[in-house]
Amino acid sequence: MDFAPIIADVKAAKCAGFRYQRAGHQRYRDRITVYRDGRLLFERFCYGEAAGLVFKLWAPGADDTGAPQWDFSKCNVTNARGEVPHQLTGAGQGGLVFDGRPARWECVDKLKNDKANGYGGPVNFFKNLFGGRK
């Protein structure tokens, strides 16, 4: 399973990306955003009084088997390798499955832009107009 059909859906919707969140009650709120140019963003947030972003990790893309190529060099969390999804094993009906685990990742947002992560209005306009990368 690879990300090509998901990226095609993002482009067809003329969005910057689709944001997925792990379903069910978890210790953390984990999100993955799949952008139209193939980049992936993993974000982990904690709950409670000190709620906020724990860490985020970028991948320039995924290989043909659906394994994201996470860039751990810019992550200051030592156990990040064990916490991020390693393999896309299923997709459909608005959700993703990673690593063959029963936890489903549901599409929670279709982003028209994401200025905080470099996908602002003018950038998206030109990517929509000229097809962007990939």
Token pair of 51 as six digits: 């709620």
Residue 130, pLDDT > 80, answer: no
Q: What is the pTM of this model?
A: 0.87
pLDDT per position as a tens digit, 60-81: 999 999 999 999 998 889 899 9
Tens of pLDDT, residue by residue over 5-31, are 999 999 999 999 999 999 987 889 999
Confidence of residue 91 (pLDDT cuts 50, 70, 90): very high
As a whole-number percent, the residues of the chain with pLDDT over 90 amount to 68
Mean pLDDT of 24-40: 92
Neighbours of 47 (CB within 10 A): 12
